[in-house]
Structure formats: C-alpha cells, structure tokens
Amino acid sequence: MSANQLARGRESGPAFTRTLFSCALLAVCTVALAAPAAFAQNAFGDDIANAFTNGEFDLNFRYRYEFVDTAGFAKNANASTLRTRLVYKSAPYLDTFVTLNLDDLRPVIGRNFNDTRNGKTQYPVVADPKGTDLNLASLTYTGLENATFVLGRQRIIRANHRYVGNVGWRQNEQTYDSLSAAFQPIEKLDLYYAYVDRVKRIFGPDDGAPTASFRSDTHLLDAAYTFNPAIKLLGYAYLMKFNNAASLSNRTFGIRATGSHELANGPTLSYQGEFASQEDYKNNPVSYDANYYLLEGSLAWQTFGFKLGFETLEGDGTVGRSFRTPLATLHKFNGWADQFLTTPPGGLEDFYLEGNIKLLQGNWRLIYHNFSANTGGADYADELDFVASWKLGKHYSVLVKFALYSADQWSVDNDKFWVQFGADF
C-alpha cells in the first residue's frame, strides 16, 4: 500500500466513525419513537413495545438569575434563564435500555447579557445560549456480569471532573458522542474506557464562536483500585485529539490517591493527592510538556468542616505551553468567577481554604483562593466564593451563590451573583 493510500485511510477513519455514531444516534431515536407501534402485532414486538411503554419520564425545571459586574464594561449582565429538561428511560429489554434527554433553554424577563450567540457584546458573558437540544440519546447494555456498555450521546464524568466532566453548572450541559465500557473484573478493581467521536459543548446547540462542538478522536482510559477506605488509587491515560481545535490536543498520564479515616471520637480526615504529566498530541502544532499537582486535606465534623488545598498547573511563560484541561467541568476549579478557564502562559498556582457548615437546614460554604503564577512569580488575584443551598421537600431546591474576584496581575475585577430554583419530578 502506498503512502498516499495510507494517508487517505487515516483521514477516512474519523469520517467513518462520525458516520457510525450518527447512524447509532439515529437508530436510538428511531427505535424509541417507532418501536411501540411497529412491533405491536407480535410477541417479539410486544416485548419491545412493553419496554418503551413501561419506561419512565422525568421532568426538571431550573431557573437561574445571574448578575455579572466586570471591570471595563459600561453595563452589567443580568441573565434570567429557564432550563426545561425532559428525560425518558425505557424499561430494559434483553438487558438493554434507551435513554433520551431533551433540553430547552430560554431567557425569561432578563435578557441583558452576552450568551456568546446573541451579539450583545456590550455586556459581560453569561454562557447560556438559548435553544433546544437532544442532550442524551444512548443505548445501555448490562447483560455481562459487572460490565456496562453505552453507545451514543452520553454523560461522561471521570473522577472529580478535573479532566472529563459534564459542566453541570451551566444551563447547557456538555455531553459526548461516545462508545464507553465500564468493567469490574474483580472486587475493588474498576476499569473504564471510552472512545469519543464528538463533544457537545455548553455553547450549543447553534454553532458559532466559541465552537458548539469538538470533532474528536479521543481515548479515555482509567483504572481504580480501592485498597480500603483510607486509600484508593486511580491511574489514567487520556489521549485527546480535536480536529477543529488542534491547539487543545494533548496526552495526559497521571495517578490520583484519595481516602478518608474517621479519627477516634473526633472528625473524619479526608485527603486527595494527584500528579499528572502532559504533552502535545497528534495534530497540536506546539510542542510542549507540563505537569499537574494537587494536594488537599479536610476535617469534617457532623455539622461543620474545613478544607485546605494547593493545586498547580504548570506553564513555562509561553502561549500554548501550559497544562490544559479542555473537557473539564472548569467552573468547579480555581474559583467560581471563571477567570482561569484557560491556564495562563505562566501556569497557575491556587492556594485555597474552605469552611463549611450545616445551618438553618441548609449547606453553607465559604472559600478563599489566592492565585499566582507557576513561572515568573506574578501575583494573579484573590477570590472569595460563597454558596448556600437548601432542599425543600422531595422535589424542590434553592441556591444562593456569589464570587468576588479581585485582580492584581491577571484579568480584571469580576463580581458574580446567582439565585437558582430547581424543581424535579
């Protein structure tokens, strides 16, 4: 076979895979809609029809008001949005079930914000663009002992969301067109693999800038072994290639340790520690390598607790040569003001201290961050975050949250405030 033939073969691979996933998603939706009627005339069809008619529907509403005051903008953002989520899960048939999730997001009342699609660039960004999207469409097979296979558009969350997550904080969720497999070959050992063909990002469903989806050729592999409650080890290899975002393609290998121990007549001591090494991968035009470090400890009593942590994402001071996590639930890390969604060229060191308490039937958290450069010694900023949340009966929830970012040598001052109401049926 000639070199040109080999090149054409490599290029056709992702296209073939995308076609395969498109057909799989179409099959899931077609079967879900047509099966009850199409097979109603025979016993085999009755079994399939019963699987769908005996399925479950869930309905969820999430209303959020978000206020953003960013230095340099003459106007503040006032975003008032309602997300309506309809979830259907069929009953199992031959150890297989269908999951469908339809999301609709609309601004209500307050529309003075830049949702990345509406052109209102005079306001700060609140990345919740309106639209209706098929968020999940998957087939799940559980017929093999201690194994689960999922094909189609699915939610993928690995470990603590640091590398792969669903970005559940935003009104538009991040999901994956993927084939995934989870195994537990022996007790205490968990194995996971996923091939990701496309990433549906929070900026959809309409395309634009930032892009609504990554065309991907990504492999996710990790293995966890739980020795006892005091130590669990997770090793991972995440090979991420993005055909339409080559600068984000990376290869990351790492190990993570977590555990907890209840002290005699006292609090529970918990910890997590992690190290990872990353380098450019496949089509990334920049050659680089960078490391990641995390060390965190916490003490928790029955009604209150404390947490202390230090996280480092290396960077050598050159654009494109810092540690990156493009599929992470980024809002979960490095402050809720979201000023470090991309690691600065000089890297990032985040020292944080948290206090939490159960009070007035709710959960309260207060977090302080000090951000600085990993290379060059720059003092980036300080940030204060606060959240209080309540469950109201079985179906309702309320959340109040703010983030105060005080800039020094990175970005500008940013204040954010949220009020959120949820209803789940």
* Average pLDDT score over residue span 88-102: 96
* Average per-residue pLDDT for the chain: 92
335-363 tens-digit pLDDT: 999 999 999 999 999 999 999 999 999 99
Say which residue the tokens 């939706």 belong to.
Answer: 29
CATH class label, 3-424? mainly beta
pLDDT for 268 beyond 50 = yes
For the stretch 45-82, what's the b/e string if a residue is b when 16 or more beta carbons lie within 10 angstroms of its beta carbon? Answer: eeebbbbbeebeeeebebbbbbbbebeebeeebbbbbb
Contacts of 214 (CB under 8 A, 6+ apart): 198, 199, 201, 242, 243, 244, 245, 248, 326
pLDDT of residue 14: 54
Phi and psi at 162, nearest 5°, equal: -65, -30
Alpha-carbon distances of 141 from 45, 134, 254, 339, rounded to whole Å? 19, 21, 29, 40
3-state secondary structure of 308: strand
- Cβ neighbours of 119 (radius 10 Å): 9
Residue ranges of domains in the chain:
3-424
311-335 tens-digit pLDDT: 999 999 999 999 999 999 999 999 9
3-state secondary structure of 17: helix
DSSP class of residue 92?
Answer: P
pLDDT of residue 413: 98
Tokens representing residue 56 in the block: 């479950």
AA letter at 50: N
Would you call 378 exposed, middle or buried from its count of C-beta atoms within 10 A (0-12, 13-18, 19+)?
middle
Q: How confident is the model at residue 170 (pLDDT cuts 50, 70, 90)?
A: very high
Alpha carbon distance 320, 248 (integer Å): 9
Element (H, E) at 259: strand 250-262
pLDDT for 97 beyond 80 = yes
Strands (E) located in 330-412: 348-359, 362-372, 379-392, 396-407
Q: Any bridge partners for residue 14, and if so which? A: none
15-71 tens-digit pLDDT: 555 555 555 555 555 555 555 544 445 566 788 888 888 999 999 999 999 999 999
The size of the chain, in residues, is: 425
* Nearest of 199, 203, 197 to residue 172 by alpha carbon: 203
